[in-house]
Amino acid sequence: MLCRAGVATLMETFYGYTKALYMYQKTLLTSVGDQVLSEGLSSILLGQISGKSNSFRMGQQTSAPKLTAQDRAIFQLKQQRDKLKIYQRKLSGIMERQNKLAMESIKNQELERARFYLRSKKQQQNTINKTYDSLENLEKLISTIEFKLIEKDVMYGLQQGNEVLKRLNKEMSVEKMDKLLDECEEEKIKVEDISDMLGMGSGLSRSEEDEVEEEMLALEHEAGITDNKQAQPKVSFPDAPSKVPETDEREEELEEEAPRLTSNNPLPA
Amino acid sequence: MDEFQFPKIHSFPPMYTKQPNSTILQNQLDSWSDLILSYCQYYKITRLSLTGSILYSQHEDLNVDKLPPLFDNTYINRSVNDEFKSSIFQHMIHKLHVADYLNSKRPEAGIFIYWRSLSEWGNIIYDYVEKTGQLGSVLTIYELTKSEDSILNDSLKNLDYELLERVLKKVLVKQGKAQVLMNEEGTQIGGVKIV
């Protein structure tokens, strides 16, 4: 009973400790989080993704997002791509018109003229096909740059994460943990000592504890548990002669095999 | 595309004359504003000249000359004169804020019709860029409104450049959500980065 009370008290103290620890971690995390956030923010403001910067720009009015050199490069490429697309559109327009003209020429029996239009149309088609290659190259370049930028971000993220982890590990050193646990242990011992001295872990006096004990015995008797307890030692008696084990085991085996034996052979007796 | 169905009030002769009574005039101006807004929304018209002719529609294959005229009604043989048109536009610009000059220094350049407010347009653009995972990357104006192979939002397809410029400058850049890049000639916005 004392022990149970002790555990309860210990649990309470321990809970207090874990709560304190949790609060401590939380403040630690938020402070670290804030720092990461502000670092990220200032790096965005300064237009640089990598590279540490301690300048603190929070509180200032955020202006428009900064454009990096990469942004401008991608923009250039995309503009070229758009130009190609517009060029293609223009050529297809011309082709359509030439097709119509060729049709009209054939209707008017101007075969040479029709041939000229068709030849010219073919030329446009070839040019369009060529522009597709350039378009593909541009698209590839754009997506490569974009992907590289993402990879760079990922690397930066990993770096940051690593730093945070390092910082956290530093804060949660083994010594500190040891000390904490030691203190916990000390508290536990103190609690045990006190409850031992007072002899009333659960807040009951000794005589009350005795009464509880009596009541419990009575209940056990009622529930028939005491009978079983007495029966158990009785069972343990036959265990003693088990020093003649082989015959017993064989008998058991025989008993198990008995049905089979009877079916195959006549009884040996 | 089916023709716009004018409301009955469009066939009501007094609508075409400026009413002397100020209360009635206010109602008349409100009715005209509503009519113009729904007409422009129906045909996706974003810009009108001061005489009411269509300067820009998002519908590429819209034959502007064949649309039923906004300020004329041949059945009742009535049309709005230019002076009254101007009053209606003034009402829309200064009272209802559903229209604005393209260039306040040159009112004759025409007016925007805001059947969708600038901030609504801004939200549409922002949502589109966010949904397609393109926040933070540079987009060209062509890519945003004209390109045939990007998954275009129907609202943005073929969007009026003049209007887009205004939305970008007056809404998204002001909110700190966008940064614009000029084109090679430095005359127009060529691209935008939305974050």
DSSP per-residue codes, A93-143: HHHHHHHHHHHHHHHTT-HHHHHHHHHHHHHHHHHHHHHHHHHHHHHHHHH
Residue A61 and residue B168: Cα distance in Å, rounded? 19
Provide the domain count of chain A.
1
Give yes or no for B129 touching A (CB within 8 A). no
Residue pair B140/A78 in contact by the 8 Å Cβ criterion = yes
Could you state, in order of their start, the residue ranges of all structural domains in chain B?
8-113, 118-194
Q: How many CB atoms lie within 10 A of CB A90?
A: 12
User: What is the b/e burial string over A224-248, where b = at least 16 CB atoms within 10 angstroms of the residue's CB?
Assistant: eeeeeeeeeeeeeeeeeeeeeeeee
Q: Which residues contact B31 (CB under 8 A, 6 or more apart)?
A: B9, B15
Confidence of residue A247 (pLDDT cuts 50, 70, 90): low
Nearest Cα of chain B lies from the Cα of A4 at a distance, in angstroms, of 59
Give yes or no for B193 touching A (CB within 8 A). yes
Task: State yes or no: pLDDT of A49 exceeds 70.
Answer: no
Which pTM does this prediction carry?
0.61
pLDDT > 70 fraction of chain B, expressed in percent and rounded = 98
Look up the CATH number of domain B118-194. Answer: 1.10.10.10
Q: pLDDT tens-digit profile of B2-44?
A: 889 999 999 999 999 999 999 999 999 999 999 999 999 999 9
pLDDT > 90 fraction of chain A, expressed in percent and rounded = 33
**Whole domain around residue A186: which residue ranges?**
176-219
**Contact state of B139 with A78 under an 8 Å Cβ cutoff:** yes
B129, B134, B137, B138: which to substitute to probe chain A, counting the most A Cβ within 10 Å? Answer: B138
Q: How many CB atoms lie within 10 A of CB A84?
A: 16
- The pLDDT of residue A45 is 39
Task: State yes or no: pLDDT of A153 exceeds 50.
Answer: yes
Nearest Cα of chain B lies from the Cα of A41 at a distance, in angstroms, of 13
Equal CATH topology for B8-113 and B118-194: yes
Tokens 């009635």 locate to B24
Task: State yes or no: pLDDT of A58 exceeds 90.
Answer: no
Answer yes or no: is A198 within a domain.
Answer: yes
Q: How many CB atoms lie within 10 A of CB A15?
A: 10
Angle (CA) B92-B96-B99 rounded to 5° is: 45
H or E element in which residue B154 lies: none
Q: pLDDT tens-digit profile of B176-189?
A: 999 999 988 888 99
In terms of Cα–Cα distance, which of B125, B116, B134, B128 is closest to B165? B125
**Contact state of A78 with B179 under an 8 Å Cβ cutoff:** no
Nearest Cα of chain A lies from the Cα of B182 at a distance, in angstroms, of 10
Answer yes or no: is A192 within a domain.
Answer: yes
Q: How remote is the C-alpha of A52 from its chain's centroid?
A: 28
Answer yes or no: is A183 within a domain.
Answer: yes
Confidence of residue A262 (pLDDT cuts 50, 70, 90): very low
Q: How many CB atoms lie within 10 A of CB B194?
A: 24
CATH number for B8-113: choose from 1.10.287.3510, 2.130.10.10, 3.40.50.2300, 1.10.10.570: 1.10.10.570
Residue A213 and residue A226: Cα distance in Å, rounded? 14
Answer yes or no: is A188 within a domain.
Answer: yes
Task: State yes or no: pLDDT of A76 exceeds 60.
Answer: yes
Task: State yes or no: pLDDT of A19 exceeds 90.
Answer: no
Sign, CA dihedral B93-B98-B104-B108, equals negative
Average pLDDT taken over every residue of chain A: 72
Answer yes or no: is A195 within a domain.
Answer: yes
Task: State yes or no: pLDDT of A40 exceeds 60.
Answer: no
For residue B183, the chain A residues in CB contact (below 8 A) are: 79
Tokens 């909110």 locate to B175
Task: State yes or no: pLDDT of A137 exceeds 70.
Answer: yes
Confidence of residue A253 (pLDDT cuts 50, 70, 90): low
**Contact state of B176 with A65 under an 8 Å Cβ cutoff:** yes
Give yes or no for B183 touching A (CB within 8 A). yes
Tell me, what's the ipTM?
Answer: 0.80
